[in-house]
Copies of this chain bind each other. A is one copy, B any other.
């Protein structure tokens, strides 16, 4: 909230209406935040306008970011060098533009600048994108694919980015030192009941209150009753959904080669054979945001069996 207000004022003086326009959350909270910022001499009010009192406020620089084009320019060659996503780990890389769209959305919500980010599974390299903005207080990435862990660590070292990497399978409990240690987590979960619940649980274990969760979820491999189960699970865990952005994130569809495709339900159950080559982007997810209303209680805390039910069911058609 404070970030939203300071960011709006970094553009110049603004009426309360313009602050309300640029801020997420209740009017009552915007009013309270204005009072606190005035009391702290960060902003002042004169002739119906709010203005920044001084340029030194720690969030002013962060708040002045206009776009992430520079991040995209730096990230594009990194993505080209990265090890390809592995179908064995149910990975599929985001279109670069949509990764940046995610980054911008997280930033706009006030969930990037000064925040501690936990990225769970990261063939998209969101961790590097976030670190390249220079805005987060901390970026930690936990990833199952050792090649990716190494690649991210190497890139971070070479570019002097503070990204902590961890080789981690979400079927295992979250290491103690990461519990309740983050403000934000970002993941693209497996969409089976077990896979989703487990993956989200690890993220929630990493999260304190207030905290924010971001994740992609498809309609393609996950029917409404399953979405319902996931939404209820989030509620029981103490989170409320604030955004479900349809067709937000598109994927490049390069992880599955022709030989692998032949093994999938996508191919086997296609009503009409042969399945022609992919001639457009088609795989996409709805980007979800949820916030804590209390300290989150992940439904799963112990180890789960990393068996077929973790990654496969009758709705998952691209990898089984």
Q: What residues make up the interface of A, taking CB atoms closer than 8 Å to B?
A: 15-18, 20-21, 24-29, 31, 34-35, 38, 45, 48-50, 219-225, 227-228, 231-232, 235, 240-246, 266, 269-272, 274-276, 278-283, 286, 291, 293, 314-315, 317-318
Contacts and interface: CB of A to CB of B under 8 A. Distances in A.
A223 B26 contact: yes
A48 B276 contact: yes
Nearest to A222: B26
A31 B244 CA distance: 25
A28 B241 contact: no
B231 A16 contact: no
Contact of A282 (B17, B45, B227, B293): B17
Contacts of A228: 235, 240, 293
Contact of A314 (B16, B28, B244, B314): B28
Given A18-B280, A240-B231, A244-B244, A272 B220 contact: no
A277 to B, nearest CB: 8
A235 B231 contact: yes
A41 B128 CA distance: 51
B231 A241 contact: yes
Contacts of A244: 241-245
A281 B231 contact: no
10 contacts: A16-B275, A21-B282, A26-B219, A26-B220, A27-B221, A28-B315, A38-B271, A224-B291, A235-B235, A241-B244
A113 B241 CA distance: 29
A225 B21 contact: no
B21 A280 contact: yes
A266 B27 contact: yes
A243 B219 CA distance: 11
A224 B240 contact: yes
Given A48-B276, A279-B15, A28 B291 contact: no
A47 B33 CA distance: 62
A48 B274 contact: yes
B31 A271 contact: yes
* Those 6 A-B pairs whose CB atoms lie nearest each other, nearest first: A48-B276, A228-B240, A21-B282, A45-B272, A244-B244, A20-B282
A219 to B, nearest CB: 5
A282 B18 contact: yes
Contacts of A274: 48
A200 B35 CA distance: 35
Contacts of A29: 223
A245 B243 CA distance: 6
B286 A20 contact: no
Contacts of A275: 16
